[in-house]
Structure formats: structure tokens, C-alpha cells
């Protein structure tokens, strides 16, 4: 009898699990991460990072930054928020949902129009550039070899991983709208995997996710190589919404700019593959506005791939 009861309970658990797996996917809920429970008396401010990686990898890379900044905020707390793709992230700042953002430079321009302002730049400006990944056995040597083939990107609004690479191809005599087939696959990691699996002849990304991919998947990365790279531009920004209290904004800014000055801060930066955070303001990104204007005049509208 004990055996029969145990068997009955096991069957019930299995059936419940199968029924749960058949339920339709729920709507996207903003992913929020914190190492400590929220305190009701302390205001919570969300920091949303654009989709550099999938949510799990992004959490591993950026939660230590949140934890570090929280030690410097006596009267507030930060929570990390991930997004499933570029479009989801862009809807969030268009609705003024997160208090803090870490967007790419093009998204920085858009967020300024929604009442966010730059408080720092993430990383070295020289590191913000597009790179083309191809398989080592692809036979591709010149940009013209991509004509008639598939090129993958995370998003049409990804500056380093799409806009700048497409402008590079334009300068090499390729009509981006007609000569190649552009596919937008949602993330940097998916862009790389499309190339690895042979679903795209080349993929456009930027150095930070490529370094992480080489670290996490050395066997797969060894079958790929960087073929070309673009010029550099300013790097990603950190932004605060205009209604964040000045004291909190200043504490976050100070914490970011001082990270490279301590061993603990350097460890946080290393986990994000970021050299340092540097002083910047809205005017720092004027060069991006000029670059995007030229791109739209010569190649395509940014938001209409």
C-alpha cells in the first residue's frame, strides 16, 4: 500500500508539471533583481540596462554594480531591470518607467527627449565600434563577398552593432537595402550564434559581447573571427530621469566615477567588461546626433529597417 501511495503521488506531480508546461506564455513582466529585500521606508529606483546580453548573463554582469552602489545610497535603493530585446527596452524609457538607464548612444538621444539626462559614460570611447564576425571557413574576405547573403544584427537601432556596420558597408559600395539581406535577431548573442550555425554569412556586434562570448564559449568562438571593424564613437551612457532627487543622482554618479579607484570597484568593472565610467553630459552625445543624421541621409531611417 505504501508503494501504491508513493506511486500515485509521483504520477500526480508529473501530470501537474506537464499541465503547467502547456500553459500559454505570460506577458512580459519587467525583470527586477535585488540581493536584499526592499525596505518600505526607502524609495526604490530601477536601473534598466539595454540588452547587451540575455537577462541571465546581464544579471550576472551588472548585479555586482547595483550591490556596490547600494552601499553608497543611505536613503535609497537601486534594483536592476533587464529587457528581453531592444524594442522592449526602448518602450520603457519612452514611458519614463525606470529612474536610471544604461542605453546605447542612439537610445541616449531618444531618452533625452523623454526627460532623461546623462550623468556618466560607460567605458572607453575607443571601444565603442562595430565589428563583423564571420566563420573562419566562410571564404569571405571582402565586403563585396556579402552581396546576396544574410547579415545578422541585434536590432535596427543598435548603434555599434547595426547602424555603424551598415554605414561601413555603405562606404564600401554596398547598397544595404538591396545588396544584402538584413535580419534582426534580438540580441548580440543571437547575432553571433546565427553566424556560428551558418544561418548568416556575417554578424555585426560590438567588442564587449564578443569578449564575453569568447570567454564563455571558447570552442565555438574559435570557429569565428573578426573580419572588419568600424570607426569608434562615444560609448554607452548612464542616465537619470529628471525627477530623480538631486542627492540620489549625485550619489549614483559619484559611485560610478569612483569605481576604478578601488580594488572592489575594479572587480565590479571587470565583471561588466568595462574599463571605467567617465564624466559625460548630454552634450557629449551631440556627435552621435550628427552621425545618425548622416546615416539617415545616406543609408536608411534608423527606425525603418
- Per-residue model confidence as pLDDT tens digits over 141-171: 999 999 999 999 999 999 999 999 999 999 9
User: Is residue 289 situated within a structural domain?
Assistant: yes
- pLDDT score of 134: 98
- pLDDT score of 51: 87
Please determine, for residue 43, whether its predicted confidence score (pLDDT) is greater than 80: yes
Whether 228 and 238 share a structural domain:
no
* More confident call, 38 vs 161: 161
Burial of 6 (0-12, 13-18, 19+ CB in 10 A): exposed
User: Is residue 305 situated within a structural domain?
Assistant: no
- pLDDT score of 21: 38
- Per-residue model confidence as pLDDT tens digits over 236-258: 999 999 999 999 999 999 999 99
Which CATH number is 274's domain given?
3.40.190.10
Whether 265 and 148 share a structural domain:
no
* Of 232, 256, 285, the domain-final residue: 232
- Dump the DSSP string for 148-164: TSEEEES-TT-IIIIIH
Rounded average pLDDT over 69-87: 94
* More confident call, 20 vs 273: 273
φ, ψ of residue 135 to 5 degrees: the values are: -75, 145
pLDDT confidence band for 305 (50 / 70 / 90): low
Whether 115 and 196 share a structural domain:
no
Please determine, for residue 53, whether its predicted confidence score (pLDDT) is greater than 70: yes
* Of 177, 206, 232, the domain-final residue: 232
CA distance 52 to 34: 19
- pLDDT score of 20: 40
> To the nearest whole number, what is the mean pLDDT of the chain?
88
Whether 167 and 105 share a structural domain:
no
Whether 257 and 187 share a structural domain:
no
What is the distance of C-alpha 1 from the center of its chain?
56
* Of 189, 207, 232, the domain-final residue: 232
User: Is residue 223 situated within a structural domain?
Assistant: yes
Whether 133 and 96 share a structural domain:
no
Please determine, for residue 289, whether its predicted confidence score (pLDDT) is greater than 50: yes
pLDDT confidence band for 41 (50 / 70 / 90): confident
CA distance 113 to 111: 5
Domain count along the chain? 2
pLDDT confidence band for 287 (50 / 70 / 90): very high
Rounded average pLDDT over 99-117: 96
User: Is residue 37 situated within a structural domain?
Assistant: no
Please determine, for residue 3, whether its predicted confidence score (pLDDT) is greater than 90: no
- pLDDT score of 40: 52
Whether 51 and 195 share a structural domain:
no
Range of the structural domain that residue 266 is part of: 43-125+234-295
Please determine, for residue 33, whether its predicted confidence score (pLDDT) is greater than 60: no
Whether 138 and 97 share a structural domain:
no
Amino acid at each position: 500500500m505504501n508503494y501504491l501511495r508513493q506511486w500515485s503521488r509521483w504520477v500526480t506531480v508529473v501530470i501537474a508539471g506537464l499541465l503547467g508546461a502547456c500553459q500559454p506564455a505570460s506577458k512580459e513582466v519587467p525583470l527586477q533583481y535585488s540581493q536584499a529585500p526592499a525596505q518600505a521606508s526607502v524609495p526604490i529606483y530601477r536601473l534598466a540596462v539595454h540588452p547587451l546580453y540575455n537577462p541571465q548573463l546581464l544579471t550576472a554582469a551588472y548585479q555586482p554594480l547595483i550591490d556596490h552602489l547600494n552601499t553608497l545610497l543611505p536613503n535609497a535603493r537601486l534594483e536592476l531591470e533587464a529587457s528581453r530585446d531592444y524594442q522592449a527596452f526602448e518602450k520603457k524609457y519612452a514611458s519614463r518607467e525606470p529612474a536610471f538607464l544604461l542605453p546605447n548612444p542612439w537610445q541616449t538621444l531618444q531618452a533625452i527627449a523623454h526627460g532623461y539626462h546623462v550623468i556618466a559614460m560607460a567605458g572607453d570611447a575607443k571601444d565603442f565600434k562595430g565589428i563583423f564576425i564571420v566563420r573562419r571557413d566562410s571564404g569571405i574576405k571582402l565586403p563585396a563577398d556579402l552581396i546576396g547573403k544574410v547579415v545578422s544584427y541585434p536590432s535596427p537601432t543598435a548603434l555599434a552593432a547595426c547602424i555603424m556596420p551598415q554605414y561601413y558597408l555603405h562606404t564600401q559600395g554596398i547598397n544595404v537595402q538591396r545588396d544584402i539581406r538584413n535580419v534582426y535577431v534580438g540580441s548580440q548573442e543571437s547575432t553571433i550564434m546565427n553566424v556560428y550555425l551558418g544561418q548568416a554569412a556575417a554578424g555585426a556586434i560590438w567588442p564587449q559581447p564578443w569578449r564575453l562570448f569568447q570567454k564563455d564559449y571558447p570552442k565555438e568562438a574559435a570557429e569565428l573571427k573578426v573580419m572588419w571593424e568600424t570607426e569608434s564613437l562615444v560609448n554607452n551612457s548612464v542616465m537619470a530621469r529628471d525627477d530623480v532627487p538631486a542627492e540620489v543622482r549625485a550619489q549614483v554618479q559619484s559611485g560610478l566615477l569612483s569605481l576604478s579607484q578601488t580594488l572592489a570597484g575594479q572587480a565590479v568593472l571587470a565583471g561588466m567588461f568595462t574599463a571605467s565610467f567617465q564624466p559625460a553630459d548630454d552634450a557629449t552625445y551631440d556627435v552621435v546626433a550628427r552621425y545618425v543624421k548622416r546615416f539617415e541621409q545616406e543609408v536608411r531611417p534608423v527606425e525603418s529597417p
